[in-house]
Amino acid sequence: SSVLTQPPAVSVAPGQTASISCGGDDVGRPSLHWYQQKPGQAPVLVVYDDSVRPSGIPERFSGFKSGNTATLTISRVEAGDEADYYCQVWNSNSNIIFGGGTKLTVL
């Protein structure tokens, strides 16, 4: 079965850069997306189609993909960026797959 692998946790100091990876065979397929989820809230789309920011998402959020690894980068991290982050693709069988999630802690 398809699996998207994310690190369980990433920690970063305010003002620094956080990088969250998403790996797996299906990462190489077109269009990988990233969601931010704060406690008690629904997920919010922060990057779609590998690297496109939806309207209203700060430029500090960027996405990049190379081969079977995608990376969400958050520059100049703020306390308000502390959240869980999930990657998502449609796999080769047209099933929707989410990564296991990464908890971003701002120190």
Partner 1 sequence: QITLKESGPTLVKPTETLTVTCTVSGFSLTTGGVAVAWIRQPPGKALEWLALIFGNDDQRYSPSLRSRLAITRDTSKKQVVLTMTDMEPADTATFFCAHKDSGMTDFDYWGQGTLVTVSS
Strand duo 102-106 + 9-12: pairing:
parallel
| Shorter beta-carbon distance to partner 1: residue 17 or 95 | 95
Is 96 a binding residue for partner 1 by CB under 8 A? The answer is yes
Which one among 5, 21, 28, 44 touches partner 1, defined by CB under 8 A? 44
Q: Which residues lie below 8 Å from residue 58, measured CB to CB, with a gap of 6+?
A: none
Which one among 54, 78, 92, 107 touches partner 1, defined by CB under 8 A? 54
Site for partner 1, rule CB under 8 A: 1, 30-31, 33, 35, 37, 41-45, 48-49, 54, 86, 88-90, 93-101
